[in-house]
Structure 1
């Protein structure tokens, strides 16, 4: 299935940047002070949760991309190493959130 192989290769190359951006965005958003009024606080928490769910989806895509055992293209080893680092960073960001499956 060349289409699946191509998709996995695209994921291997694209996911590091997507994960980095999602994690950085989450860090910036969640680093600010939480709003004090209830309505804004709920919206803030919803935004944080949406960001975490986005990161989780990217991690699931990364697991799918890693399922391919075929030879990787040139530069893929570096991309995979970066992806692994980003996955570990994302998992660390999820620590303490037992209600969110990793």
Structure 2
């Protein structure tokens, strides 16, 4: 018996039935928006307080194996994803 695939998070676009994960072949992909920060030293903001620059990006994520790929804007309000870039998430602990 196979485990149930968890639902897509609130606000994410579920791709179930349309695309399969290139890493594990599961039918459990969704697209979600995340804020991505720029590395320190790559931007300049006036003022004394600590600041950072962040912009919204879209990510293709597998709910089974956790593989993910960042989308690139295509210039028409959509994003392109390269399945070859699907990588497992990195642990922050």
TM-score by shorter chain over 0.5: no
Higher helix share: 1
TM-score of the two chains, using structure 1 as the length reference: 0.26
Task: Name which structure has the greater RCO, CA cutoff 8 Å, separation 6+.
Answer: 1
TM-score of the two chains, using structure 2 as the length reference: 0.28
